[in-house]
Amino acid sequence: MKNSFFKLVVLFSLTVFLLPNFIIAQDSNLPTVNFFHGDGCPHCADEKEFFIELQKEFPSLVITEFEVWYNRDNASFLSQAAKELNIKNSGVPVTIIGEQVVVGFSSAKTTGERIRKAINHCLDNKCVEAVGQIAAGNYQGDGSTSQAVDSVCDDETACAVDGLGSTTVFNIPFIGEVDASAFSLPLLTIVIAGLDGFNPCAMWVLIFLISLLLGMKDRKKMWILGLTFLITSALVYFLFLAAWLNLFLFIGFIVWVRIVIGIFAVGSGVYHLREWYVNKSGLCKVTGAKRKRKIMDKFKEVTAQKKFWLVLSGIISIAIAVNMIELVCSAGLPAIYTQVLALSDLPTSGYYLYLLLYIFIFLLDDLFIFVVAMTTLKMAGLTGKYSRWSSLIGGIVIFILGILLIFRPEWIMFG
């Protein structure tokens, strides 16, 4: 009897002392759940609700959150992690557990179960903390885990989350289906800058200047004065674009700023579409007849100067003034474009290279008209018809960008 009692005491003692050690050993294998999400993403919000229940099941579970829509560093880190782990899907939420990745969130019963299985897998098999190693710069993975990773999220209904992968197709009233993923930042730059370039407010000024230059006998001075006007215009516009860009980069990803710009873009798009419908001539309404006459008189006064440096400085002054008017006529295209550019994850030099591309495309039509006129000594220009149709295309593009800025900013976060 005493021996039996003694054995029970020993067995109880071993249970008391060894069970906590077993639990500690098990918890030591508990992986960190790395949760990449967007502020305002409904699927991310659903996953957060699931995590509350999950932490009741795993009280020691650590969930590290990375907000990627409005935090540039986190967005860049997600891009790096996606490259290292060979994640092919885009969008949020993205959950990384060890080297296992779950993209999207459908429900606790589907995607939630996959997350739970990934955690249990790491409890049974010590997992590599891939995210921590990627952050430290010592991750040794070769991307071969991607097949196993994808198998964690093999149900299309769980992965096909709004805003992920190929689901960037949406309907615009009166326009139809639009696939935002078809746009790239270079293409978007070319389209917006090209539309901005067909600006009747500045075009008539250039054409009038060319008509005055064609009356000069010195062809060298004609080229110098014309190019001075174009280069000054480019410099003023570049500085204006850079100012907008730096403002948006400085204030960061503030939600209300993005929404205000989005609303402005929608309004601007509607304005352009109205101009296409109402203004059949395609002529600029910002510079009325009285203002046009004043600019024309100033040009004549400047070009009549005998001293070349006075003519040159006069051309520069007029170019600056005309571009101030042109900014009004652009109806916010530079502001909308630089907001989209600021949302993109680029190095500092990258931002300014895109601004230079914008300026180059913006000046192409003016440059073409000037070179043709100077070469043939004949007047050439674009009729109001081109400006009118650019209003239609520009209105559609700007309207779409406005909708994306308000409801789906992640679709236009390039880089």
Question: DSSP of 123-172, one letter per residue?
Answer: HHSPPP-HHHHHHHT-----STTHHHHHHHT--HHHH--TTSTT--EEEE
| Residue 291 pLDDT | 59
The answer to whether residue 4 is domain-embedded is: no
The helix (H) or strand (E) run that includes residue 34 is: strand 32-37
- Are 273 and 392 in contact by the 8 Å Cβ rule? The answer is yes
Look at residues 159, 179, 209 and tell me which one is the last residue of a structural domain: 159
Please check the confidence at residue 310 and state whether its pLDDT lies above 50.
Answer: yes
Residue 282 backbone class (left: φ over 0; alpha: ψ -120 to 50; beta: rest): left
Shared domain check, 175 and 80: no
Q: How much is the mean pLDDT over the chain?
A: 73
pLDDT digits (tens, 9 = 90+) for 96-152: 999 898 888 888 888 899 999 999 988 888 888 999 899 888 887 655 444 333 333
The answer to whether residue 217 is domain-embedded is: yes
| Residue 27 pLDDT | 55
Look at residues 99, 130, 159 and tell me which one is the last residue of a structural domain: 159
Look at residues 109, 140, 159 and tell me which one is the last residue of a structural domain: 159
Task: Count other Cβ atoms within 10 Å, centred on residue 329.
Answer: 17
Residues 6+ apart with CB under 8 A from 205: 295, 318, 322
Q: Which residue has the higher pLDDT, 9 or 214?
A: 214
Range of the domain at 211: 169-412
Shared domain check, 363 and 229: yes
Shared domain check, 194 and 100: no
Shared domain check, 115 and 244: no
The answer to whether residue 239 is domain-embedded is: yes
pLDDT range class, residue 361, cuts 50, 70, 90: very high
The helix (H) or strand (E) run that includes residue 178 is: strand 176-179
CA 107 – CA 157 distance, rounded (Å): 10
Shared domain check, 346 and 200: yes
Shared domain check, 191 and 85: no
As given in the structure block, the two tokens for residue 413 are: 């976060």
Q: Which residue has the higher pLDDT, 280 or 109?
A: 109
The answer to whether residue 20 is domain-embedded is: no
Q: How many domains in the chain?
A: 2
The answer to whether residue 92 is domain-embedded is: yes
CA nearest to 402, candidates 269, 246, 247: 269
The answer to whether residue 231 is domain-embedded is: yes
Shared domain check, 121 and 174: no
Please check the confidence at residue 273 and state whether its pLDDT lies above 50.
Answer: yes
Shared domain check, 221 and 245: yes
pLDDT digits (tens, 9 = 90+) for 37-49: 888 778 888 899 9
- Are 94 and 65 in contact by the 8 Å Cβ rule? The answer is no
Please check the confidence at residue 388 and state whether its pLDDT lies above 70.
Answer: no
Shared domain check, 363 and 215: yes
Q: Which whole number is the average pLDDT over 294-299?
A: 63
CA 104 – CA 93 distance, rounded (Å): 5
| Residue 19 pLDDT | 41
Instruction: Output the domain CATH number for residue 153.
Output: 3.40.30.10
| Residue 216 pLDDT | 72
Pairing of strands 176-179, 94-97: unpaired
Shared domain check, 293 and 254: yes
Residues 6+ apart with CB under 8 A from 262: 401, 402, 403, 404, 405, 406
Residue with the two structure tokens 């005998």: 306
| Residue 107 pLDDT | 84
Please check the confidence at residue 15 and state whether its pLDDT lies above 50.
Answer: no
HSE-up (13 A, CA, CB side) for residue 12: 6
| Residue 35 pLDDT | 94
SS3 94: strand
Shared domain check, 363 and 299: yes
CA 79 – CA 77 distance, rounded (Å): 5
As given in the structure block, the two tokens for residue 361 are: 């495309």
What is the percentage of the chain residues whose pLDDT exceeds 70? Answer: 63
Rounded (10°) CA dihedral 402, 408, 413, 414: -90
Residue with the two structure tokens 């250039």: 206
| Residue 171 pLDDT | 45
Q: Looking at the whole model, is its pTM more than 0.75? A: no
| Residue 259 pLDDT | 79
Query: Can you count the helices (H) and strands (E) in the chain?
Result: 16, 6
pLDDT range class, residue 213, cuts 50, 70, 90: confident
The answer to whether residue 16 is domain-embedded is: no
Task: Count other Cβ atoms within 10 Å, centred on residue 356.
Answer: 14
The answer to whether residue 182 is domain-embedded is: yes
| Residue 168 pLDDT | 42
Shared domain check, 360 and 237: yes
